[in-house]
Amino acid sequence: MQYHDVKLLATAANREQWPDSDLPEVMFAGRSNAGKSTLINALVNRKKLAYTGKTPGKTRLLNFFEVDGKMVFCDSPGYGYAKGGSDTALMFSNLIDPYMTERTQLKALVLVLDIRRIPNDDDLTMMDYARANHLPVIPVCMKADKLSRGAGIQAAAKIASALRVPRETCRMVSGTLKTGIEEVMQDIETKTAV
Ligand code: GDP
């Protein structure tokens, strides 16, 4: 199974620009370079969606995509790109927090992580927002192909512990080998089915 029909619904800097849709929504977030674009492209079976270009100016917006006419993916900007973090703090308070707090059809957060990195403060902030809004989280550890199977399992366990989620909720995915995608889709289907 794979999603096929993907269309851009809206690009939003503020709540007035959120799309007028009542389909269940799934948010994608993660540190810059963790592999978020790769994951989304693998889920929708595209080499590259037009939007994934990291054009300056496009990077501080929420991108909404309707997927197979049944759900919406909200792609949020990768965080922590600029050192210092004030940019990221603004993005959290102006863009991410209002969306997570007010978007009633939001059903799950896919938190994209690099399997080789321990979650940082920004990742933990995302977890805090999700918990505060009772939003289920699907942690996805990308780049699983960079580690041996055993080292990958250990790394995922460390990530789970830092995020304070059960180990079995963390998915291990390789965008290169296309492994683990199906499990993430199943999680998304389960969370958006209600
Ligand atoms: P984003 O900034 O989170 O959207 O990250 P990208 O999807 O652009 O990925 C950042 C870099 O990591 C790119 O060079 C990708 O090719 C690479 N990458 C992403 N996912 C994987 C993966 O699962 N395995 C490997 N080996 N490389 C990956």
Residues 26-35 have a mean pLDDT of 96
Atom of ligand 1 nearest to the CA of 112: 3
How far are the Cα atoms of 3, 34, 68, 102 from residue 38, in angstroms, in the given order?
A: 14, 9, 19, 28
Q: Provide the mean pLDDT of the chain.
A: 91
Flag whether pLDDT at 49 surpasses 90: no
Residue range 121-160, pLDDT digits in tens: 999 999 999 999 999 999 999 999 999 999 999 999 999 9
Which one is predicted more confidently, 129 or 57?
129
Per DSSP, the chain holds a count of helices (H) and strands (E) of 6, 7
Q: Name the phi and psi angles at 6, rounded to 5.
A: -125, 125
Lowest mean pLDDT across 2-6, 35-39, 73-77: 2-6
Distance in angstroms (rounded) separating the CA atoms of residues 126 and 132? 10
- State what percent of residues in the chain have pLDDT above 90: 82
For ligand 1, whether the C-beta of 34 sits within 6 Å is yes
Three-class SS of residue 142?
strand
Report how far ligand 1's centroid is from the alpha carbon of 118 (Å).
Answer: 16
Atom of ligand 1 nearest to the CA of 174: 23
Report how far ligand 1's centroid is from the alpha carbon of 93 (Å).
Answer: 26
Distance in angstroms (rounded) separating the CA atoms of residues 84 and 141? 25
Distance in angstroms (rounded) separating the CA atoms of residues 99 and 106? 9
For ligand 1, whether the C-beta of 139 sits within 6 Å is no
Flag whether pLDDT at 20 surpasses 90: yes
β-bridge pairing 106-114 and 25-30: parallel
Res 55: pLDDT:
54
Q: What is the DSSP string of 80-93?
A: --STTSHHHHHHII
Q: Which two tokens stand for residue 67?
A: 């997927």
Residue range 155-184, pLDDT digits in tens: 999 999 999 999 999 999 999 999 999 999
Res 45: pLDDT:
79
Report how far ligand 1's centroid is from the alpha carbon of 23 (Å).
Answer: 28
